[in-house]
Amino acid sequence: MPKGTCEFCGLENVEIDLEHVIPGWMAEAALSQMNAPHLVISRGNDIVHRSRGRIGALNIEARCACKLKCNNGWMGHLEMKVSDFAKPMVLSGALTHLNSERQKLLTAWAVKTVMTHEFYGPHGQTFFTLDERKHLRTYLLPPPIDDLYVWLGRSGITSQATTFPIYLNHTFNVVEKPTIYALTLVAGQFLLQFLAYRRIQWEGSSQLRIDSAPFRERLLPLWPRRDSQIVLWPPRDIITDDDFEPFVYRFFGQMLRKGVYSGQPTRPL
């Protein structure tokens, strides 16, 4: 296994493992809802694995976390705790009570997912810093970025689990680190949307429609967290196939037509 520096704890010369961007429990749950051909893995006459759909499209991994302390440590424990209550959300859209602890876990999982996603594919500039990733690892809370949001919705999109990353750079300097990072995750009936941006650095901040963005009534705000308030999921209205593009781009107004957009969202598979 290759050695390097862990992007989440900073340890050097350690084994760097492949971390699933979309965890196995979520990918399998999402695929089980699709009317797609089976992928069967057998040993001799025994079927040891049976799934639906093109599993390779879901099996995306990023080499960014050390094997011992991160991937098999806090990341694995976080996945286990979240999957206990989130798997029924993916499978059936079952009514789920998200108390304060569950909201904290789901928020930490969402931020971990988007942080990991940055290292999928060709490695380039990242939005988050090492110190911000360390903050998540230490406290299981989002790093102290003033403008960081997580919303939950219910998906009626007929595609498999997939992600849609968007980066936006400084209007006049596309060499520096991205100042906006947005990602939408769809898995079965589970839908998550994430947005973070650095207000001081972002010259087009007045064009970000946070409070008045479309689809607000169909989403439940997860972060910033509301004090001691239980969130009941799912919301009444779903996000459909027809909503796909306007939903993904719902914050950005005129910006994408002004040449500050860098990154192409992936269409559902």
Question: What one-character-per-residue DSSP string does 145-204 give?
Answer: -SEEEEEEEEB---S-SEEEEEEE--SS-SSSPPSEEEEEEEETTEEEEEEEE-TTT-TT
Is residue 154 in a domain?
A: yes
Longest CA span, the chain: 62
Name the amino acid, one letter, at 248.
Answer: V
Q: Is residue 212 part of a domain?
A: yes
- Dihedral of CA 124/244/60/197: which sign? positive
In a domain, 268, yes or no: no
In a domain, 183, yes or no: yes
Provide the residue range defining the domain that includes 55: 3-262
Look at residue 263 in the predicted model and tell me its pLDDT: 46
Q: Tell me, yes or no, whether 269 lies in a domain.
A: no
Top-confidence range, 14-23, 117-126, 156-165, 215-224: 215-224
Query: Whole-number mean pLDDT of the chain?
Result: 81
The total of structural domains in the chain comes to 1
Does the pLDDT value for residue 132 go beyond 90?
yes
Q: Between 225 and 63, where is the model more confident?
A: 63
Q: Which tens digits make up the pLDDT trace of 141-167?
A: 999 998 999 999 999 887 666 777 888
d(CA 101, CA 169): 34
Name, in order, each residue with C-beta under 8 angstroms of 97's C-beta and a sequence gap of 6 or more.
230, 231, 232
From residue 147, how far is each of 29, 56, 180, 197 by CA, in Å?
A: 32, 34, 10, 6
pTM of the model: 0.85
Say what the pLDDT of residue 173 is.
55
